[in-house]
Amino acid sequence: MSMTDTPMNETPLSESPLYDTPTRDRIGRRTVLVATGATAVTLAVGAAVPGTQASPDTAPVAAAAVCTLTKEMTEGPYYLDGQYVRADITEGKTGFPLKLALTVVDDDTCATISNALVEIWHCDALGEYSGYVGNNGHNEPDSGTFLRGGVLTDSSGVAKITTVYPGWYIGRCVHIHVKVHVGVTLTSDGSFTGGTELHTGQLFFNETTTAKVGALSPYSANTVRRTTLAQDGIYDDGGAASGLLTLTALGSSPSAGYSGTLTLGVERS
């Protein structure tokens, strides 16, 4: 893709922020950051160790596990600093439930890392990001915080976050942005400051599930042509090693929602 990730009012139309391709720009609290060659690793849940199986509640890391190198990915144009530390980021947004269980491990030892802040953000069913509503052609209330936030990993290294299945916007497949921080300080207003950012990446969804979800309301109201995983300019067809979630249906209908699990290996040095 030839598009870049800078805000619309700062660039010509040919460099619209609707496309998550790399740039280096910072405007106020809206930060555009791309990994600069540093790598992180991910351990494919239920794949690296024969006979193991991930659970939405616990994602143990076996002693014999092998950590697999993965690329960091673009932060994209829609990041906002200082978001809430909270387990439920929905803020009443309509959509099918998504229960994430993301495990953070040290890439050298595969040992789980507790008290790491796992922060996510993504668009709603109509493809709109809080703080940037209107960029995908819809007019809706904008709190600046919906579908944003994160939690600290527990003693098992697991961060559990409740959200909704994301929608999509022009030029990108369905995805969630993720950051992993350590050493943050929680603030009295429910946010966080400081710390060290260890990983910036994206989480992806298999096409079979996304097609089922996209055919139903409220997602079907999004008339923007959906980019598939194969067409996406960021996802590199690397499976779990590139952020592809393991999805498990929570009921017989897509509207019942899904659990999503993945183990993220990060470099602590």
**What digits encode the pLDDT tens for the residues 214-227?**
999 999 999 999 99
Residue 8 counted as domain residue: no
Give me the mean pLDDT over the 158-171 stretch.
Answer: 98
The DSSP symbol for 240 reads: G
Give 163 or 26, the one with higher predicted confidence.
163
Give 67's pLDDT tier (boundaries 50, 70, 90): low
Give 107's pLDDT tier (boundaries 50, 70, 90): confident
Give φ, ψ of 211 to 5 degrees.
-65, -40
Residue 130 counted as domain residue: yes
Residue 2 counted as domain residue: no
Residue 238 counted as domain residue: yes
Give 28's pLDDT tier (boundaries 50, 70, 90): very low
Q: What does each C-alpha distance from 94 to 122, 149, 165, 181 come to in angstroms?
A: 14, 17, 9, 29
Which pLDDT belongs to residue 27?
A: 27
Computed over every residue of the chain, the mean pLDDT equals 80
Query: Has residue 14 got a pLDDT over 60?
Result: no
Among residues 127, 142, 146, which one has the least CA distance to residue 20? 127
Domain that holds residue 239: 39-266
Query: Has residue 93 got a pLDDT over 90?
Result: yes
Distance CA 84, CA 255 (A): 27
Q: How many domains does the chain have?
A: 1
Residue 223 counted as domain residue: yes
253: Cβ contacts below 8 Å, ≥ 6 apart: none
134: Cβ contacts below 8 Å, ≥ 6 apart: 128
- For residue 7, give both structure tokens: 């805000």
Residue 117 counted as domain residue: yes
Give me the mean pLDDT over the 20-37 stretch.
Answer: 31
Residue 127 counted as domain residue: yes
Report the CATH number at residue 197. 2.60.130.10
pTM of structure: 0.78
Give 269 or 231, the one with higher predicted confidence.
231
Give me the mean pLDDT over the 233-240 stretch.
Answer: 92
Which pLDDT belongs to residue 70?
A: 55
Query: Has residue 248 got a pLDDT over 90?
Result: yes
Query: Has residue 72 got a pLDDT over 50?
Result: yes
Q: What does each C-alpha distance from 40 to 31, 94, 97, 157 come to in angstroms?
A: 21, 33, 28, 16
Residue 18 counted as domain residue: no
